[in-house]
């Protein structure tokens, strides 16, 4: 069993491996965590995920850009790959923040932004249903009804593909008014989001989780109000 100091050191090294995108070190320190009896859950959340959160903060400060985010994500998942069997074996489950469907809308294959979103929601403890890119309009509707996900995140990179967004939003809201929908991507802005009937807008992968949390809290308050 690692001492408190050693545990702190391992968690710090795990976070640093992600932040400095050193995939081999993420694996090395994840193995060390298991070998020295550090709680794998703690290693994942307070080590690797914390490193990714700090990477996202550096991205928001424009100290990091997409290459650094992608490399950090690789280190994160390399370390998680080592820890996951032990987490699974422990039977413990992470506290789920919420659930989100992510996808790049029909006609669009630009998915780097959506993939970064996925990483950030992953480390924030969300259940993610990733539909990929060039996703047909009705697929979003079907998936929302099937999963009853709290949030649907629509991404678009072009002024043509963003035209699919109001169609998707209207269809989902008609079928399930509970669902909250947020939009993002190059041609989107708060004005477009409002015109399209979206509930939220995220400027970048670095702000999307906060926006989703805001929508989720609103949703929970509304549902609580209705229950009372």
Q: Applying CB under 8 A, which residues contact other proteins?
A: 21, 62, 64-68, 70-71, 74, 105-109, 112, 115, 158-164, 186-189, 191-192, 195
CB of 147 to other proteins, least distance (A): 24
Q: Three-state SS for 135?
A: strand
Nearer to other proteins, 64 or 126 (CB): 64
CB of 65 to other proteins, least distance (A): 4
Tell me the C-alpha distance between 48 and 76, whole Å.
Answer: 6
CB of 41 to other proteins, least distance (A): 29
Q: Three-state SS for 93?
A: coil
CB of 49 to other proteins, least distance (A): 21
Sign, CA dihedral 51-149-96-202, equals positive
Nearer to other proteins, 114 or 180 (CB): 114
Tell me the C-alpha distance between 209 and 153, whole Å.
Answer: 10
Tell me the C-alpha distance between 167 and 218, whole Å.
Answer: 23
Q: What does the block give as tokens for 219?
A: 């949703």
Q: For residue 228, with 0-12 CB atoms within 10 Å meaning exposed, 13-18 middle and 19 or more buried, which class applies? A: exposed
Nearer to other proteins, 90 or 159 (CB): 159
Q: What does the block give as tokens for 201?
A: 């807008």
CB of 141 to other proteins, least distance (A): 16
Nearer to other proteins, 90 or 160 (CB): 160
Nearer to other proteins, 51 or 107 (CB): 107
**Whether the Cβ atoms of residue 100 and residue 129 lie closer than 8 Å to each other:** yes
């Amino acid at each position: 069993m690692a001492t408190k100091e050693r545990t702190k050191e391992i968690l710090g090294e795990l976070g640093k491996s992600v932040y400095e995108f050193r995939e081999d070190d993420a694996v090395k320190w994840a193995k060390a965590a298991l070998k020295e009896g550090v709680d794998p859950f703690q290693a994942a959340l307070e080590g690797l995920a914390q490193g990714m959160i700090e990477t996202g903060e550096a991205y928001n400060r424009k100290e990091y850009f997409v290459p650094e985010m992608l490399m950090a994500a690789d280190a994160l998942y390399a370390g998680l790959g080592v820890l996951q069997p032990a987490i699974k074996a422990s039977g413990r489950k992470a506290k789920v923040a919420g659930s989100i469907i992510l996808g790049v809308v029909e006609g669009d294959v630009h998915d780097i932004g959506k993939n970064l979103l996925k990483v950030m929601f992953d480390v924030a403890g969300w259940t993610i249903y990733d539909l990929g890119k060039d996703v047909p309009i009705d697929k979003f509707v079907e998936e929302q009804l099937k999963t009853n996900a709290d949030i649907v995140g629509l991404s678009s990179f072009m002024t043509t593909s963003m035209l699919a967004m109001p169609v998707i939003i209207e269809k989902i809201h008609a079928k399930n008014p509970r669902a909250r929908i947020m939009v993002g991507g190059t041609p989107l802005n708060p004005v477009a989001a409002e015109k399209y009937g979206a509930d939220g807008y995220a400027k970048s992968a670095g702000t999307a989780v906060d926006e989703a949390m805001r929508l989720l809290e609103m949703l929970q308050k509304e549902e609580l109000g209705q229950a009372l």
